[in-house]
Amino acid sequence: MKKILVTGGAGYIGSHTIVELLKAGYEVIAIDNFDNSYPSVLENLKKITGQEIPFAEVDIRDKAALKAFVKATPGIDAVIHFAANKAVGESVANPLKYYENNVGGTVNLLEAMQENGIKQIVFSSSCTVYGEATPPVGEDAPIPVAQSPYGNTKQICEEVLKDQCVATDLKVVALRYFNPVGAHESALIGELPIGVPNNLVPFITQTAIGKREVLTVYGDDYPTPDGTCIRDYIHVVDLALAHVAAINYLAEKKNEEAFSVFNLGTGQGNSVLEVIQTFEKVTGVKLNYKIGPRRAGDVVQVYASCDKAMSGLGWKTERSLEECMSSSWKWEQAIAAKGNN
């Protein structure tokens, strides 16, 4: 297996995965519609890898264009499918956008794959499928009714992929990410949240750099050691390496089931205050934060059991929370120095 199509390749996780795929000797072709990314990411990938990234601007909602692109690109052995919208709040306000892009786009992609004999896919799923599960959360934890249209699109896509495995000889690895953070050590690629960030770490770095006045910690009266919510923060480069491991797993035909699912996290939970303290320690920057009321819908604590990914994919995380914080800070400083793109 050599040639990998990466959808959403200009995005946060896709761009880091392209770096690691190329390092591992895979050939990559990326598509994106730049809905939540910039063409400059491709230039920066070239700076990091020393290679031009074969790329086409394709919108996966445009079935005809997507099919024409796949047909005109011979030799694709597998797909890594990142392209999706991912803002939970926006999905509540505009569910049809999410069903059209995340579910409809995936169906279009599967049709294009089927018509062109491409039989392997790695899919970006999410720990949101577990809702309020008791940690450490294993892959066999129950999947409750989704709490948002975004979460529902991930559940539905997993079901669509399973059904397609039954109907055809498709092989799927679904990866359920916990909380991806951090950036490439070069500070040339990272997460570019558009508007006010929903996630803690970009909010921390934006507050530290002065883009935001104050960070609000939503509640310090939860039943956790310091009263703040606990999450499993995984460095995006470790996450990217898990995709290489998933592609290797498919290439080496290690999958016993046509549809395999793995959690990707560190297996360790960190509280909001621990993350803030770690940021302050590694950067020497004092953060302006205040304790506010609880935020509706926040789960108290969630972290992964990663045993299955460790044994099945032969993968484990290697980067610490300190490295997550220092690389995020370096990235925020680089954005400030260059402008947003």
Ligand X SMILES: NC(=O)c1ccc[n+]([C@@H]2O[C@H](COP(=O)([O-])OP(=O)(O)OC[C@H]3O[C@@H](n4cnc5c(N)ncnc54)[C@H](O)[C@@H]3O)[C@@H](O)[C@H]2O)c1
Q: Of the ranges 30-38, 182-190, 314-322, 331-339, which one interacts with ligand X (CB under 6 A)?
A: 30-38
206: Cα separation from own chain's centroid: 20
265 belongs to the binding site for ligand X (CB under 6 A): no
State the catalytic residue, choosing from 12, 98, 130, 150: 150
Query: 304, 265 in Cβ contact below 8 A?
Result: yes
106 binds ligand X (CB under 6 A): no
**Does residue number 14 form part of the binding site for ligand X (CB under 6 A)?**
yes
98 scored as a contact of ligand X (CB under 6 A): no
Q: Does 230 bind ligand X (CB under 6 A)?
A: no
Residues 119-178 that bind ligand X (CB under 6 A): 124, 126, 177
Residue of this chain nearest to ligand X (CB atom): 11
Asked if 13 interacts with ligand X (CB under 6 A), we say: yes
Q: Is 286 left (phi over 0), alpha (psi -120 to 50) or beta?
A: beta
**Structural tokens at position 339:** 């402008």
Considering only residues 177 through 196, tell me which ones interact with ligand X, judged by CB under 6 A: 177, 180
Is residue 150 among the annotated active site residues? yes
State the number of CA atoms in the 13 A half-sphere of 117 facing the CB: 3
Q: Is 55 in the site for ligand X (CB under 6 A)?
A: no
Chosen residue from 36, 148, 152, 327 binding ligand X by CB under 6 A: 36
Interface residues toward ligand X, by CB under 6 A = 8, 10-14, 31-37, 59-61, 82-84, 86, 101, 105, 124, 126, 177, 180
Enumerate the active-site residues: 150
